[in-house]
């Protein structure tokens, strides 16, 4: 799956994602049958999520036994090698998965010396494997990808995520949404931050912003966007995305414009 010239690290990450995806895709097929049953598929999905995470941890540990883990479903695992930590989301887009919508991904980021070093985002239903490693560029199924070259906001398509509405942030969100919608070609909300970031890296979206994310929602995607030539900051324009959970990314022409609209 990985590129002919891909590194040992990329081979490890893409192989782990591929392995976890097999069962996830089978489980996704089951969800469609469960949707008609009275006992909702929510429990089933959380088991699928957990199973995928266990597979990822097992495969990555086999290849890099000393690396630590930051996990969504389980407690974090401290590694002997303190400079390398995996940041994993076994199923980004749970709500889509739960409703039988084939837009979800496995996300594996690698943090090295407190910086995002590499990322893999895999959409198994469409068999799209995005990967990037610091200084090596970003790829989709072995083909080099770049952020879009658009300069005009009016021609640009942006993506976002809607914060959970009980968080009291809805007014801010609606204000930002209105700012962007009123001047752009549109805003999409597909329900997987990892894939939103991958789509920015591939030039499908011209930019993306969201608040209240977790580290595992965006670690891999940050690597992709950066290596595809994009700019990534938090909403205040700093680099504290992982700490504060806010992210704004676009190409170099649009980043400052998007930042202004959502600030």
Residue range 3-36, pLDDT digits in tens: 456 799 999 999 999 999 999 999 999 887 776 6
* Number of domains making up the chain: 2
Q: How far apart, in whole angstroms, are the C-alpha atoms of residue 232 and residue 200?
A: 11
* 173 and 46 in a common domain: no
pTM, rounded to two decimals = 0.95
The answer to whether the beta carbons of residues 132 and 201 sit under 8 Å apart is yes
Please give the average per-residue pLDDT across 187-191, as a whole number: 97
Owning domain of residue 62:
8-145
Q: How far apart, in whole angstroms, are the C-alpha atoms of residue 260 and residue 263?
A: 5
The per-residue pLDDT of the chain, averaged, comes to 93
* 157 and 77 in a common domain: no
Which among 145, 171, 195 is the end of a domain?
145
Residue range 153-180, pLDDT digits in tens: 999 999 999 887 666 677 889 999 999 9
Residue range 48-95, pLDDT digits in tens: 999 999 999 999 999 999 999 999 888 999 999 999 999 999 999 999
Listed range (29-43, 73-87, 127-141, 234-248) with the worst mean pLDDT: 29-43
> And the tokens for 14?
């893409």
CATH code, 167: 3.40.190.80
């Amino acid at each position: 799956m990985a590129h002919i010239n891909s590194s040992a690290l990329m081979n490890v990450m893409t192989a782990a994602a591929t392995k976890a995806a097999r069962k996830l895709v089978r489980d996704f097929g089951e969800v469609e049958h469960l949707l008609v049953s009275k006992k909702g598929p929510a429990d089933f999905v959380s088991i699928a999520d957990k199973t995928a995470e266990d597979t990822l941890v097992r495969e990555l540990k086999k290849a890099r036994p000393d690396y630590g883990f930051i996990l969504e479903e389980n407690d974090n695992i401290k590694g002997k090698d303190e400079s390398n930590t995996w940041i994993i989301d076994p199923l980004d887009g749970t709500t889509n998965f739960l409703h039988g919508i084939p837009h979800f991904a496995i996300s594996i980021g690698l943090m090295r010396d407190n910086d995002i070093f590499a990322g893999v985002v895999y959409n198994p239903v469409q068999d799209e494997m995005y990967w990037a490693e610091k200084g090596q560029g970003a790829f989709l199924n072995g083909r080099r990808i770049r952020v879009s070259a658009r300069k005009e906001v009016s021609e640009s398509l942006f993506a976002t995520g809607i914060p959970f509405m009980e968080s009291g942030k809805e007014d801010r969100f609606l204000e930002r949404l209105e700012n962007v919608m009123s001047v752009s070609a549109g805003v999409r909300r597909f329900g997987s931050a990892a894939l939103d970031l991958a789509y920015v890296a591939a030039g499908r979206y011209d930019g993306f912003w969201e608040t209240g994310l977790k580290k595992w929602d965006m670690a891999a995607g940050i690597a992709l966007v950066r290596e595809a030539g994009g700019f990534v900051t938090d909403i205040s324009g700093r680099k504290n995305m992982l700490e504060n959970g806010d992210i704004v990314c676009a190409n170099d022409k649009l980043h400052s414009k998007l930042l202004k609209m959502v600030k």
